[in-house]
Chains A and B, each alone.
Chain A
Amino acid sequence: MRLKMSHHKANQGFLTFAKNSETVDYLQLAYIQALNIKSTQRYNLYAVVVDNKTNELITDKHRAVFDYIIVADSVGPFDAECQVFWLTPFKETIKLESDLLFTRSIDHWWTTFRLRDIVLSLGCRDYKQNLSDSRRYRKVFDDNELPDVYNGLMYFRYSHTALNFFTQAKQIFEQWANIQNTLINCRDDLASTDLVYAITALIIGKEKCTIPTADFINFVHMKPAINNFNESLKFTEAYVTEFDEGMIRVNNINQYHPFHYYIKDFITTDMENYYDRFRPRNN
């Protein structure tokens, strides 16, 4: 495969996908995330990929914050995620899930990311900031000896490795009905991005797309089993959660690692008001 001439508009930045559903305003999550990144990161260019319908909801408020708005009508729940290689305006991209926030700068992570052409998060953390040993949501990964990767926070740069990775991932998405049957104990009729990327990592070589020794490249995941609370509860019900001038505190523990809140109604008006301070104003 040959790389075409770069179509990129900037060197490095963050990107997320936002396609509103009936129940979740992903555009709003992306907006909060963009403001969060502006307030915590030095390299803080932000791109959002939206579908046509969500694009209609974009106002001047959003335009003031999003550096790049990319409309890709095929944005589905998962299937378009591997299009990110061709959609990103950045030569180097940190791709995020929209329900993830930072409480401190990860500027220095870029240096580590550059050890590979593509870096997936490996493992995840609980709210106590410890690497999680829960396998509750990862049985299919273990049964198939797949790497424990997460796409919620990942890095790639314009390179042959990344081109190869995303091309393979795209083919797996397209052939999911067949590939699903080759996996042990796989009951996912819809391909999940984490699972597809784990298979892709195994095909291209996990040593090319993970850095196990950089054990900080991951995020806090607030799913119940990872944090040892009852599956029937949200973390906001199981624990006291606080937002303190940009710091997120769960059960009295400050969240210093990137925080994947996962429960979409975690965002409160107080948080919106706090982040709104970082919205660029014309005058």
Chain B
Amino acid sequence: MLNSNKSEKSRGILAFAHNTVETNYVGIANKTLELASKILQLPYTLITDTICPPQNNNRYNIDLNKFVEWRNVGRHLAYNLSPYDETLVIDVDYIIQDQSLLQIFDMSWDYILMRQSHALTQDYIASMGPNSLPFVWATVFAFRKTSRANMFFDLIDRVKNNYGYYRELFNIQERNFRNDYSFAIADIILNGYTIPTMSIPGSMLTVDQPIKSIKLVNNKFIIKDSKQAYITPRTNLHIMSKQYLESEDFSELVNEIKNVTP
């Protein structure tokens, strides 16, 4: 018999979007979150400038071949801003294609991160520098509202606010602040200065080149860039080309996927 006094744990998807001159992140988020919500059967929340003041940084834009403005450095606020007991946080350029992420909620953790990623043509060396430690991918992660998860996000905030110090301490090569690095540093410290191994299972597929089109054919993706086509199984995709994500082709793909059960 169900205890009527105890409410079901709420679970949902959370994303951050801060528009820049070059990219309409909110527009992209509307498409990818709607798709994620439909596939995972979870509600979603989008956090934008009105509740999360953006801080400027820059990132390399693969479509324009230059560094552009990037304002998404408030990821540590996810803990306080999430309305859910269990939250799956995704970047707006992370395209959910199947229900595999639901399985992580059967596991025991306070927070869980993505540790591995590969591209269509290469494996990434996930190190913060030649003499540094592995980083994690803050593109997709999940957390529960526990004191340890709270501590994790507080630590990320501390790392962000003292990034110059932590950059030196961890032998980080890049000068730019990266969420991936602040997450990795907080993760290592919180785990007693060890390299944790618990991870969202599998490796995240990142499409890191400008894209012309992506088609879903027989439950496989045909991804075309300017030179060739790649065929991959239907899987969650991290797409770096914001130009593609803003294109009509992507809108058509989202509509098509929404109608095809994974």
Contacts and interface: CB of A to CB of B under 8 A. Distances in A.
Interface in B32-53: none
A251 B170 contact: yes
Interface residues of B, number: 15
Residue from the set B131, B168, B189, B195 with the largest chain A CB neighbour count within 10 Å? B131
Contact of A254 (B168, B169, B170, B193): B193
B171 to A, nearest CB: 7
Nearest to A253: B193
A256 B194 CA distance: 9
A106 interface: no
A252 B169 contact: yes
A240 B192 CA distance: 17
A128 B132 CA distance: 10
Given A239-B171, A240-B169, A253 B131 contact: no
Interface in B104-158: 130-133
Contacts of A166: none
Contacts of A251: 131-133, 170-171
Contacts of B254: none
A229 interface: yes
Contacts of A229: 131
A129 B188 CA distance: 14
A72 interface: no
A238 B130 CA distance: 10
B131 A252 contact: no
A224 B240 CA distance: 36
Contacts of A252: 133, 169-170, 185, 188-189, 193
B194 A254 contact: yes
Interface string A226-266: 00110000000011100000000101111010000000000
A253 B194 contact: yes
Interface in A6-62: none
- The contact size tier of chain A is 10 to 19
A229 B127 CA distance: 14
A277 B192 CA distance: 25
- Main SS class of interface, B: loop
A212 B48 CA distance: 55
A249 B192 CA distance: 11
Nearest to B168: A240
A254 B131 contact: no
Interface in A80-130: 128-129
Contact of B131 (A129, A239, A249): A239
B55 to A, nearest CB: 25
Interface in B158-195: 168-171, 185, 188-189, 192-195
Interface string A128-163: 110000000000000000000000000000000000
Contacts of B170: 251-252
Nearest to B169: A240
Contacts of A249: 193
A239 B189 CA distance: 16
Contacts of B194: 129, 253-254, 256
A262 B189 CA distance: 26
A239 B169 CA distance: 8
A91 to B, nearest CB: 36
Contacts of A253: 133, 188, 193-195
B154 to A, nearest CB: 18
Contacts of B168: 240
A254 B190 CA distance: 12
Given A251-B170, A251-B171, A252-B188, A238 B193 contact: no
A171 B170 CA distance: 48
Contacts of B195: 128-129, 253
Interface of B: 130-133, 168-171, 185, 188-189, 192-195
Interface of A: 128-129, 228-229, 238-240, 249, 251-254, 256
Q: Which 5 A-B pairs have the closest CB atoms?
A: A254-B193, A238-B131, A229-B131, A240-B169, A249-B193
19 contacts: A128-B195, A129-B194, A228-B130, A229-B131, A238-B131, A239-B131, A239-B171, A240-B169, A240-B171, A251-B171, A252-B185, A252-B188, A252-B189, A253-B133, A253-B188, A253-B194, A253-B195, A254-B193, A256-B194
Given A240-B169, A251-B132, A254-B192, 20 more contacts: A128-B195, A129-B195, A228-B130, A228-B131, A229-B131, A239-B131, A240-B168, A251-B131, A251-B133, A251-B170, A251-B171, A252-B133, A252-B170, A252-B188, A252-B189, A252-B193, A253-B188, A253-B194, A253-B195, A256-B194
